[in-house]
Amino acid sequence: MARSKARIPRPLDEWLACESPWVRYRARQIFLGERAEEERTRVLAHPLVKQLVREAKGWPGNSVADHRSGKDLLNKLTLLAEFGVRRGDAGIDALAERVLAHVDERGRVLNHVVMPRQTKAVWLFDVDGQDPLLTLVALGYGDDERVRTAVEELMRSAEPDGGWVWPDAPSPLPCRRHAGGCPYPTLKIVRLLALDPAWSRSAAARNGVELLLDLADRREARYGFGFGPRFEKLKFPFVWFDILHVLEATSLHSRAWKDARFQRLLARVLAKADAAGRFTPESIYLEWKGQCFAQKNEPSPWLSLVVHRILARAPGAGP
Is residue 311 pLDDT above 70, yes or no? yes
Sequence-separated (6 or more) residues with CB below 8 Å from residue 82: 22, 138, 237
Q: Which one has a higher pLDDT value, 132 or 115? A: 132
Per the CB < 8 A criterion, the answer to whether 43 and 86 are in contact is no
Report pLDDT for 7: 76
- Taking the C-alpha atoms of residue 46 and residue 53, their distance in angstroms, rounded to an integer, is 11
Domain boundaries, the chain: 46-157
pLDDT at 290 over 60: yes
Judge whether residue 172 has pLDDT over 90.
Answer: no
pLDDT at 4: 46
pLDDT tens for 185-239 read: 999 999 999 999 999 999 999 999 999 999 999 999 999 999 999 999 999 999 9
Specify the amino acid at residue 192: L
Predicted pLDDT at 178: 82
pLDDT at 295 over 50: yes
Alpha-carbon span 150 to 173, nearest angstrom: 25
User: Is pLDDT above 50 for 181?
Assistant: yes
Question: Residue 253: CB partners within 8 Å, gap ≥ 6?
Answer: 190, 194, 200, 205, 206, 209
Q: What is the pLDDT of residues 27-50, one digit of tens each?
A: 999 999 999 999 999 999 999 999
CA distances from 311 to 265, 305, 315, 317, 318 (A): 13, 10, 9, 8, 10
User: What pLDDT is stored for residue 179 in this prediction?
Assistant: 87
- pLDDT tens-digit series, residues 62-83: 999 999 899 999 999 999 999 9
Q: Is the pLDDT reported for residue 277 higher than 50?
A: yes
User: pLDDT at residue 169 above 50?
Assistant: no
> To the nearest whole percent, how much of the chain has pLDDT over 70?
95
Residue 145 has pLDDT above 90, yes or no: yes
Residue 42 phi, psi (nearest 5): -70, -35
What is this structure's pTM?
A: 0.95
What's the whole-number average pLDDT of the chain? 94
Q: Does the structure show a pLDDT above 80 at 5? A: no
pLDDT value at residue 104: 96
Write phi, then psi, for 85 (nearest 5 degrees): -70, 145
Give the per-residue pLDDT at 134.
Answer: 98
Measured in whole angstroms, the distance separating CA 154 from the mean position of its chain's CA atoms is 17
